[in-house]
């Protein structure tokens, strides 16, 4: 096996593909058999509903694509970001970093497909505590991206300095022994 496709990287690619596929399958289910687009809202639990939303923006609904040009610009920008995440993932060796990046990549691919095919991203997951909604309506891809970012940040803040440096080396790999 080449050094590019190590076991951990293949696992990462599989995670990304699985996230994208599950995201698309659930979106198909909520707008197909559940007809969420037509009914608009389905009560499920006291704290979780399905609510159909077309998100024409990106993170937190910002940078809304109000024209055909901005739609394709968002597709391009998010595809470039997904490409950067893929390259980053393929450079990592540790499964923890690869898994976090794979969640981000899979989520990005699921949302990019929506924006490419439909011009917007389908959101449906509506978590709330009474009338309080701590999140905007989201989807599996959004959740995967968020979890992936939290994993990368947590590992970078909590583990990186401890695990990457050996005795007698600075964090940049420079030896203190002259």
Q: Is 142 a catalytic residue?
A: yes
Q: State the Cα–Cα distance between residues 84 and 104, nearest whole angstrom.
A: 11
Active-site hit among 23, 114, 123, 126: 123
Report residue 1 CA to chain centroid gap.
28
73 CB-near residues (< 8 Å, 6+ apart): 65
Please pick, among 23, 114, 126, 142, the residue that the annotation labels catalytic.
142
**Active-site annotation holds for 126:** no
DSSP 93-122: -SHHHHHHHHHHHHHHHHHHHHHHHHSSEE
**Catalytic residue positions, numbered:** 123, 142
């Amino acid at each position: 096996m080449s050094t590019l496709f190590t076991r951990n990287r293949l696992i990462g690619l599989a995670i990304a593909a699985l996230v994208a596929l599950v995201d698309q399958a659930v979106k198909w289910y909520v707008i197909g058999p559940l007809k969420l687009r037509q009914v608009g809202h389905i009560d499920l639990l006291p704290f979780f509903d399905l609510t159909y939303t077309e998100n024409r923006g990106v993170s937190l609904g910002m940078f809304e694509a109000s024209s055909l040009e901005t739609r394709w610009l968002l597709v391009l920008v998010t595809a470039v970001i997904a490409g950067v995440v893929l390259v980053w993932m393929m450079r990592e060796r540790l499964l923890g970093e690869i898994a976090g990046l794979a969640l981000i990549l899979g989520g990005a691919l699921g949302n990019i497909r929506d924006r490419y095919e439909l011009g917007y991203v389908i959101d449906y997951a509506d978590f709330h505590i009474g009338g309080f909604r701590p999140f905007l309506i989201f989807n599996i891809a959004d959740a995967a991206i968020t979890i992936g970012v939290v994993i990368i940040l947590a590992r970078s803040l909590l583990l990186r300095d401890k695990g990457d440096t050996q005795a007698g080396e600075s964090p940049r790999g420079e030896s203190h022994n002259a």
